[in-house]
Amino acid sequence: MKDILIIEIKKLKNLKLLSTDSLEAFKRKRKFDLVIAEGFLNTLKKRNKYLKKISNFLKPKGILIINYDDSYGVIFEFLKSITLLKACNFKNINFRKNNSLEIAKKFFEKEFSKLNKYKPVKIDWKSIGNDLVSGCALLLNKNKLGNEIFFDEKIFIYKEDTDLLKRIYDRKIPIFYLPNCSVNHIGSSSHNKELEEKINISRQFHWPYGNIYFYKKHFGFLIAIKMWGRKFLNALFKAFFYFLIFNKKYKIYFARFLGISSALLGLKAWYRPKN
């Protein structure tokens, strides 16, 4: 098994090496703000086991970065590098210097043609509920946005990314969609499985809350009613029905009813799962 490096950030650009043990051998009760698993997790047979172990190193709100290469992509990139290296040697050009870029452009014209040709996306915000933009993985230019445009803290979770993009769009700041960039989202992996029911109830509150808050904020109360009025009545009816037949599903629909009601009434996103 490959080694994992555990580092501690003491000061900016000052890293302290804590251990060079393998992941299997590493044992530490201490929690960390940042854990980086670089290029090995996808090679392990018991990935879920070690992912859980790595996650347990994190403090609350800590960040886990997992990076690995696609096995086929690595081969092609290696062959490209060898091709470019041979071409640079033939021209007596240092492979690592900037002037090798011109040779790379000639050899890999197709790849370079894709660069810098992205155009700002055009969003039809009137098609509410159909094609709302979700920015689950964002790269933000803080110098361009300033301090006034970031996530609306009145939204606890869900639709805060769409709200951010809507405000950026209204400021006529270009938004680019990069289809060749992808992020692997491991759903429902931020919590232990025994908490799944509580997290699901929380989700049923905050998902409608975030949506309705977004619609009210940008399009008005009537549009929010139009989008979620029927779901509000549906949640109320099902919560009452399942409660009468002693079915635990009533918790799901009651949480949804509370989320819709709270957002329509302008209350805070108050619900949190209980320990």
97 with 62, same domain: the answer is no
CA distance 115 to 104: 13
Residue 91 domain-assigned (yes or no): yes
Distance of CA 109 to the CA centre of its chain: 32
Range of the domain at 44: 6-67
- Cβ contacts of 1 within 8 Å, gap of 6 or more: 22, 23, 24, 40, 44
Check: CB of residue 144 under 8 Å from CB of residue 168. Answer: no
In a domain, 38, yes or no: yes
Question: How many independent structural domains does the chain possess?
Answer: 3
Q: Average pLDDT, whole number, for the chain?
A: 76
- The span from the CA of 236 to the CA of 103, in Å, is 66
pTM, rounded to two decimals: 0.55
- Both tokens of 202, joined, read 């929380």
Instruction: Indicate whether 76 and 95 sit together in one domain.
Output: yes
Classified as helix, coil or strand, 13 is coil
Please indicate, yes or no, if residue 254 is contained in any of the structural domains: yes
Same domain, yes or no: 63 and 76: no
End-to-end CA distance of the chain: 36
Q: Average pLDDT, stretch 99-108?
A: 77
pLDDT tens digits, residue range 37-63? 666 666 666 777 777 777 787 877 777
Residue 144 lies in a domain: no
CA distance linking residue 131 with residue 162, whole number of Å: 11
pLDDT category of residue 99 using cuts at 50, 70 and 90: confident
| Structural domain contains residue 239 | yes
- The predicted-structure confidence for 128-173, as pLDDT tens digits, reads as follows 444 455 666 777 777 777 777 788 888 888 888 888 888 888 888 8
